[in-house]
A and B are shown apart, each in its own frame.
Chain A
Amino acid sequence: MKNSDSRVLEVRVISAEDLSVNRRQPLKKNAFVVIKSEAQKIEAATTVDKDGGSYPSWDEKFSVDMPMHSRYLTAEVRCRGGAGGDRLIGSAKIPVTDFLGGLVPENYLHFLSYRLWDYNGERNGIINLSVRVVKGSPAAKVGFNAGGASCSSTQPWAGVPVADKVSSGGTVTGIPVW
């Protein structure tokens, strides 16, 4: 679990919008969210929102371990049922590339929204969450030296992002240095 080949993410499940059951009736209550790894293991689950109806909100934070070579997480909105158990309302894939890589700092707080798809592959609402990499790859754990680049306003942008600062901004996928 806590091996060096995983990243630690802080996933905040914020809310969902416009959820329905059987394609047209708005969901009445009891929506909750589970976060699954690529291996379909449940990593986190929110509480049940009893009165949010088809626009539930949770605003709950989780720490999620993500294996280094994993490509996505899945968020599933479910409805807590009575005797019949829980049912799937809709799910969305969260690609790693949406919060890792690119030019932003690795620990950047990403606000992400996704279309949810139901069991039949139909659109069913939207989920809003935020993801932040709390602990990145071991190789990337070098502290940022603020001194050299403190006053950005006096430093002109280079045409192509300067290699020593940016090329590693999250794309140094796991070649541990020790």
Chain B
Amino acid sequence: MGGCFSDVKGGQQAVGGGAHKQNGGAFTSAATEHNDAVDGFFRAKGLQTLYTQIELTLSAEKLRDRDIISKSDPMAVVFAKRRDGTLEELGRTEVIMNNLDPAWIKKISLDYQFETVQPLVFHVYDVDTQYHNIPAKMLKLEAQDFLGETTCVLSEVVTRRNRTLTLDLHNRNGSGLKKLGSLTVQAEETSASRSAVEITFRCSHLDNKDLFSKSDPFLRISRIAESGSYIPICKTEAINNNLNPVWKPLCLTANQYGTKDNPLIIECYDFNSSGNHVLIGKLQKTVAELENLHKTRTGANLLSPPTRLRGVEKVTQGQLFVDGYVEKPLFTFLDYISSGFELNFMVAVDFTASNGDPRRSDSLHYINPSGQLNAYQQAIVEVGEVLQFYDSDRRFPAWGFGGKMYGGSVSHCFNLTGSSTEFEVTGVEGIMAAYATTLYNVSLSGPTMFGPVITKAAEIAGHSLSLSHNKYFVLLIITDGVLTDLKETIDSLVKASDLPLSILIVGVGDADFKQMEILDADGGQRLESSTGRIATRDIVQFVPMREVYGRQLSVVQSLLEELPGQFLSYMRSRDIKPHPLNLGQASTTTNPCVV
């Protein structure tokens, strides 16, 4: 990260407050303010950083010519727009002389955070000749000629094929009478941690540690932690009675080994069924050195640890060889998203009586005429704002449960559209409108049941698989109550764990949400259905709205954080790979389906 915000202060001074009038993302959160110290902490511990670093490459076309004798000398500046509307400079390009179609070389780096909306503002300036000897960083922006500005959200760029987005430039006041040209933004992931290596180890001439037979050797590989202790990252199988063993290939991800120059400890043990494995020897090598061992086909001698008799390490005649070394790409979330994979958003809203009469201001469903959002609206907006960019048609299924329909019967899954067949609405605004309308048309009832909506969502997710494998579904359930169908809900969740589906539950109000914590299997306990089937993965995230309400960390961020991981676990376990960019629409042909 480093360079990201290094120029924040200077940027603010140079830019000044009042000049910027865009206010597109009214609900956006303080996107780019994650803590350097936290990041540093994770990196020091060798864990993957929380955020993915992105580099933006900018180019422009048909810029306005502001110079009389020659052409404009353009420079672009990128800002992050904060929640309160102020701009923070993220970086600026170099100045390119005499060019109305510049392709800037200097890249702007920033962190992509899935769980927040990250609005960006781009300004293009013509830098006056008198400033040409001043570094771009030092330039006072108000002294330059303004060539235009434009804005977008980072997710809009990364969800594009090729991760490239072209935007029209316009004037400060938004009026675009004249053609001011266009700006093209391309995003690239800089993360180096997307690879994994598959290594086949072999040893020769190991010391014999067993009395009546030969050693039963296995390898254990550890990373050295900052404290100096070893963190085991993987081990091979034990091979019986063999002093020249060849093990099955091991897969080490960059997440595990850190960088290729991180020292790893490789220990060879004699397996003992009592668990007291005896160390045969060990050595320290980086992944780069292991790669080299493979290339040169040489062995490295194992060292045996100091004993009481002999104070120093002894070089044994046992040797370690690397018979196979293959680097394998590990696809990232953005690799999938920018190759046409989608997150499809679905909503289910609680219409049980415990919410209170919507006409009363103490009701959780009270719609404030002043425009202040109630907890339901807030949850819909905050999750929807983030997810809508990952859904190309922005058509969202929206249901209600626990409400009494016009005819007088309680339904546990009815369409917010009011129609009996059409269940999709368009955009987040569509959900909000349908929600408000439903409050007038449905009377609140009960009991609170999740089973039917989860089953419905699972049907849609399952059905989508017969068409393509590039959709992943996210169901948001907002509820105030205690479940009456816990058993059925768990049964439907266990079934759904096999599908491309994640479920986010937001609890509103003051009810006891203990049950929800059970559904959210973060404790390590996997959900078990009444028939003895067990969830294959954790697909539920729960947050109570009140706990984080009003605090800096939005409720949504904590809810959305685990989604990319859940998406990846589904895709990777099935060996579904991102489509090559030129594949176009032919996605279904790679997954022939039998009907």
Contacts and interface: CB of A to CB of B under 8 A. Distances in A.
Contact of B459 (A112, A128, A141, A161): A161
Nearest to B589: A146
B536 A112 contact: yes
Given A103-B465, A105-B465, A161-B463, 13 more contacts: A50-B240, A104-B466, A112-B498, A112-B536, A115-B528, A126-B526, A126-B534, A142-B594, A143-B594, A144-B593, A144-B595, A156-B395, A161-B459
Contacts of A142: 594-595
Interface stretch (B177-185, B302-310, B417-425): B417-425
A149 B536 contact: no
B286 to A, nearest CB: 27
B421 A50 contact: no
B587 interface: yes
A105 B587 contact: no
A40 interface: no
A28 B586 CA distance: 50
Interface in B555-594: 573-574, 585-589, 592-594
Given A165-B595, A169-B595, A50 B574 contact: no
A50 B238 CA distance: 8
Which of B238, B534, B537, B595 has the largest count of A CB atoms less than 10 A from its CB?
B595
Contacts of A160: 421
A177 B19 CA distance: 74
Nearest to A98: B533
Contacts of A169: 466, 595
A159 interface: yes
Residue of B271, B397, B532 most packed against chain A (CB within 10 A): B532
A7 to B, nearest CB: 11
B558 to A, nearest CB: 27
Contacts of B589: 146, 150
Contacts of A128: 536
Interface string B427-464: 00000000000000000000000000000000110111
Contacts of B459: 103, 161
Interface residues of B, number: 49
B539 to A, nearest CB: 12
14 contacts: A104-B499, A105-B595, A106-B594, A110-B498, A112-B536, A126-B534, A141-B594, A152-B468, A153-B393, A156-B393, A157-B397, A157-B464, A159-B423, A165-B466
B273 interface: yes
B594 A105 contact: yes
Interface string B386-404: 0000001101010000000
A107 B462 CA distance: 12
Q: Which secondary structure dominates where chain A touches chain B? A: loop
Contacts of B586: 146, 150
Contacts of A113: 526, 533-536
B237 interface: yes
Nearest to B240: A50
B35 interface: no
A165 B468 CA distance: 13
Given A51-B218, A113-B526, A150-B586, A155 B533 contact: no
A173 interface: no
Contacts of B585: 150-151
A114 B533 contact: yes
A92 B532 contact: yes
Nearest to B236: A51
Contact of A144 (B240, B466, B499, B533): B466
A93 B395 CA distance: 40
A51 B342 contact: no
Nearest to B393: A153
A111 interface: yes
Nearest to A104: B462
A81 interface: no
B534 A146 contact: no
B588 A149 contact: yes
Contact of A140 (B273, B462, B594): B594
B92 interface: no
A115 B532 contact: yes
Interface of B: 218, 237-238, 240, 271, 273, 342, 392-393, 395, 397, 420-424, 459-460, 462-468, 470-471, 498-499, 526, 528, 531-537, 573-574, 585-589, 592-595
B594 A109 contact: no
Interface in A103-146: 103-115, 117, 126, 128, 136, 140-144, 146
A29 B272 CA distance: 11
A174 to B, nearest CB: 14
A37 interface: no
A104 B500 CA distance: 11
Nearest to B468: A152
B531 A95 contact: yes
A157 B424 contact: yes
A165 B593 CA distance: 11
A111 B537 CA distance: 9
A121 B37 CA distance: 52
Contacts of A159: 420-423
B273 A107 contact: no
A123 B457 CA distance: 31
Interface string A156-178: 11011100011011000000000
Contacts of A157: 397, 424, 460, 463-464
Contacts of A107: 592-594
Contacts of B595: 105-106, 140, 142, 144, 165, 168-169
A173 to B, nearest CB: 14
A144 B594 CA distance: 5
Nearest to A28: B273
Contacts of B397: 157
B498 to A, nearest CB: 5
A171 to B, nearest CB: 11
Given A29-B273, A104-B462, A153 B533 contact: no
A28 B271 CA distance: 13
Nearest to A99: B498
B461 to A, nearest CB: 8
B342 A153 contact: yes
B534 A144 contact: no
A154 B593 contact: no
A167 to B, nearest CB: 9
B465 A112 contact: no
Contacts of B536: 111-113, 128
A29 B240 CA distance: 13
Given A29-B273, A105-B593, A51 B238 contact: yes
A93 B529 CA distance: 13
Contacts of A144: 466, 588, 592-595
Contact of A51 (B271, B471, B537, B592): B271
Nearest to B415: A159
